[in-house]
Amino acid sequence: DVKVTQSSRYLVKRTGEKVFLECVQDMDHENMFWYRQDPGLGLRLIYFSYDVKMKEKGDIPEGYSVSREKKERFSLILESASTNQTSMYLCAILRDGINYGYTFGSGTRLTVV
């Protein structure tokens, strides 16, 4: 089974800091996704990537960017962290086709103070 690892479980950052959230998979899946999860709002797609150096905006990309230099790693970047970016961030990969759905990482709970 594929393993999706998010580098930090909890992060506390200051307003204005540049923040990097890392997601690494241990297989060769092409499609990777970043979501944020907030109470009452469900999961909202920030960005996704379908191959190395290929990325597309999701529904709420403002204030975020992404990087995918290697197939196994997909990074989410908060250019200048703000308090409204305090959230749970979930990375997901698509396994072998849509029928298998996503495998999620364990999530990073980010607090911006």
Partner 1 sequence: QKEVEQNSGPLSVPEGAIASLNCTYSDRGSQSFFWYRQYSGKSPELIMFIYSNGDKEDGRFTAQLNKASQYVSLLIRDSQPSDSATYLCAVNQGGTSYGKLTFGQGTILTVHP
In the complex, the residues that contact partner 1 under the rule CB under 8 A are 31, 33, 35, 40-45, 48, 50, 56, 58-59, 90, 94, 97-102, 104-107
Please, are residues 29 and 92 in contact by the beta-carbon 8 Å criterion? no
Q: Which C-beta is closer to partner 1: that of 45 or that of 77?
A: 45
Q: Which C-beta is closer to partner 1: that of 14 or that of 53?
A: 53
How far is residue 100's CA from residue 51's CA, in Å, rounded to a whole number? 19
Q: How far is the CB of 62 from partner 1 (least distance, A)?
A: 18
Q: How far is the CB of 15 from partner 1 (least distance, A)?
A: 26
Q: Which C-beta is closer to partner 1: that of 90 or that of 112?
A: 90
